Structures are given as structure tokens and as C-alpha cells.
Amino acid sequence: MKLSQLTTYLEILAPLAYQEDYDNAGLIVGNPDQEIHQVLISLDCTEAVVDEAIHTNCQVIISHHPIVFKGLKKFNSKTYVERVIEKAIRNNIAIYAIHTNLDNVLNGVNAKICETLGLDNCRILSPKQGLLKKLVTYAPTSHTDQVRNALFHAGAGNIGNYSECSFIAEGTGTFKGNEDSDPYVGEPGKRHTEEETRIETIYPANLESKILMALILAHPYEEVAYDLYTLTNQHQQVGSGMIGELDIAMDAEIFLYQLKEKMQAQVIRHTAFTGKQIKRVAVCGGSGSFLLKHAIAGGADVFITADFKYHDFFNAEGKIMIADIGHFESEQFTQQLLHEMIQKKFTDLPLRLTSVNTNPVRYFI
């Protein structure tokens, strides 16, 4: 199959528009039209991982972390980043990164952590603003369903577990075409009055051009009247971190024992026990210290993440226990998540999880 078939599917599950500003998710090396027969999945794309792809006959590496974050100006094998890119290009190996866009979706990195920890009632810890917009358009009543169906088909009208969400109101529209017009109803040069339906619906901003194209194709008028509204609503299915609950509250020490085992952490750096039992749990794979205030506001008893700095530990203020399990450890099951996601759609495509331990951190215990 073509590489683009795989990347298009991944970008439906984790749209590139959902990545953070600093990120570089997407196809980093490769031609979308190139043929792929086997995929290598990894958390990081190191030289050893590219070697593995070469030796195991994989044509594409799907990696969580992008190998390239900043612009590269030279390719002279000086840094590991340059060497990875050079080797991948020389060997016709594509590199695709699915990073903060996979962190920020409902069934992404953090959902996998919640699943591993057995949490229920999980929701996004810090939902994102600015991703939703509203469309209002006016169609002749005879075409209400045709227009509405086209908008739904293009991705409008989804709110949580509900699809096909819209509101309609009947009214009267007027228009007068000039001599160059060719109106669907009425005559050029004469004001026409038409019974119309006002259709309102919501849509993800990243689908705007697709939705407008669907509107224009489904609408019978030569000039389609529509309004686009920017919303300040949060998108409840997109954002950072996740919060959920354990079945039964447990002592902090027992919780940490289980956390260490389930997340295969060699060591957990944590703040003092708060004296409360652990019931509500906030998580963020990777560097999540920016979410501490959201975890506290969400009433979490513990916040599991990585890369906490010394001074940031003080901000727990006895309200919550911070548990830093290590960056690699917090995200390692993302590889299984990617495997499950891809296998579900492309059942015949051979997938390999890397056998390279890409964690650059070692623990001397």
C-alpha cells in the first residue's frame, strides 16, 4: 500500500491541527506515494531504530517523538539528528511522527496510561479552546435536508457522543441578482422573496475548507450566504492530560507500589504523602508539570507525569501528590497504542514494535 494511506488514517485519528505550536508532527522524511510493506513503531527515532528498519525490511518508522524539532541547515553527520535523517533518506525509509496531536486526543497517549492504571470516568484534564467554530447558513426550505446532510457528512455537528447536531429556524430571505446573475429562483433585476431555513451547526476549525466546499456543492444558490463564528467553547475531546478515578480508594504507598509495577518504572520521584487516600488520578505522558494547577483544580489526589523540576515539586503545597515516573516510562505504552490503532484498520499490514530501548536515561540503583 501507499504511505499516504497510512498517514491519512493516522491524521483522522490524531489531526495534525491538534499538535502544539512547538511541535513537528507529521511526515518528516519520505514520499507519500512510496510503497510500504512493513511498519516499525517506536517512541523515538534513533540511529539504532533506523538500522533496525533497514535490517527488518520496514519502509516506514512511526515514532511518537519527532526526530526533527528545529530547522536543520546542514547535513554533515555531525549530530545524531542529521545522521538519522541522512541514513533514512539514503535507505528510502520514511519517518512519521505522531506526537502532541496524539497526546491531545481522547483516545491517545493519556487514555492508554489511564487504561494501564485501570481508571474509570476519564476525561481530558485541560480541554483546548479555539478548535471549534460555528456555521450559520440559509437554504431554501426544499433543500434544508440536502444542505444539512452534506455538512454532517463533511464533519460538522459532532458534540461528544452525539452527531448530526444542528438547529433550524424558518424565515424569509430576500435577494436581487444583477444582470450577470443566474438565480436558482426569481429573476435578475427583481427582488425575490423566498421561504428559507436558517441552519446552525458546530464544526472543528481544521475541517473548515472541507465543510465550506460541501456547503457550496450541496446548496442550490449561485451565491451561498453563510456566517462563520469563532467560539470560545472548549473542545471536550481535545486537550492535555487526563483525569479519572480508581474503583476503590487506596493508601498512597500501596498506590505507588502498583504504579511502579504497572508503568514499569524503575524509580518514582514523588512529593510527601498528603494524608488522603488516592482515588482521583490525573495523568500526563511526558513533560506535564504545566498541568499541575489543572490536576489540583480537578480534585486529583495524585498527578502522574514526568520531567518535574526540583522547584516545581514545591507547588504541590500538600494539596496533591506529584509522582514523576520518568518520561520514557510514562509514554512507553504509546507503542502498543499505535500498534492497536494501525492494526485495527490495516489488518494485513505487518507491524513491528522496535526492539531497541531508546530511553536515553539509565538509573544507577
Count interface residues toward Zn ion (CB under 5 A): 2
Euclidean distance between CA atoms 278 and 34, whole angstroms: 50
Euclidean distance between CA atoms 349 and 1, whole angstroms: 9
Nearest approach, Cβ of 58 to Zn ion (angstroms)?
A: 22
Contact call for residues 225 and 171 (beta carbons, < 8 A): no
Of 297 and 356, which CB lies nearer to Zn ion in the complex structure?
Answer: 356
Nearest approach, Cβ of 69 to Zn ion (angstroms)?
A: 12
Of 44 and 52, which CB lies nearer to Zn ion in the complex structure?
Answer: 44
Of 7 and 334, which CB lies nearer to Zn ion in the complex structure?
Answer: 334
Three cell numbers, residue 126:
485541560
If one counts every other C-beta atom within 10 angstroms of the C-beta of residue 329, the result is: 20
Nearest approach, Cβ of 14 to Zn ion (angstroms)?
A: 14
Of 68 and 228, which CB lies nearer to Zn ion in the complex structure?
Answer: 68
Of 150 and 325, which CB lies nearer to Zn ion in the complex structure?
Answer: 325
Of 15 and 286, which CB lies nearer to Zn ion in the complex structure?
Answer: 286
Instruction: Give residue number: closest CB to Zn ion.
Output: 286
Nearest approach, Cβ of 38 to Zn ion (angstroms)?
A: 25
What is the bridge-based pairing of β-strands 39-42 and 60-63? parallel
- CB burial class (10 A; 0-12, 13-18, 19+) of residue 8? exposed
Q: Which of residues 322-351 bind Zn ion (CB under 5 A)?
A: 331
For position 127 contacting Zn ion by CB under 5 A, the verdict is no
Nearest approach, Cβ of 159 to Zn ion (angstroms)?
A: 30
Residue spans of alpha helices (H) in the chain: 3-13, 47-55, 80-90, 100-103, 109-117, 144-153, 208-218, 252-262, 292-297, 310-313, 327-331, 334-345
The torsion defined by the Cα of 74, 80, 81 and 83, in degrees rounded to 10, comes to 60
Stretch in the footprint of Zn ion (CB under 5 A) among 66-74, 233-241, 281-289, 354-362 = 281-289
3-state secondary structure of 343: helix
Q: Which helix (H) or strand (E) holds 127?
A: strand 120-129
Of 204 and 288, which CB lies nearer to Zn ion in the complex structure?
Answer: 288
Nearest approach, Cβ of 286 to Zn ion (angstroms)?
A: 3
Secondary structure tally for the chain: helices H, strands E? 12, 15
Of 239 and 286, which CB lies nearer to Zn ion in the complex structure?
Answer: 286
Site string for Zn ion, 240-279 (x = CB under 5 A): ----------------------------------------
Nearest approach, Cβ of 318 to Zn ion (angstroms)?
A: 28
Give DSSP secondary structure letters for 212-227. HHHHHHH--SSS--EE
Q: In angstroms, what CA-CA distances link 122 with 37, 109, 262?
A: 36, 13, 18
Q: Which of 30, 157, 286, 288 binds Zn ion (CB under 5 A)?
A: 286
Of 52 and 329, which CB lies nearer to Zn ion in the complex structure?
Answer: 329
Site string for Zn ion, 161-200 (x = CB under 5 A): ----------------------------------------
Euclidean distance between CA atoms 66 and 285, whole angstroms: 15
Residue ranges binding Zn ion (CB under 5 A): 286, 331
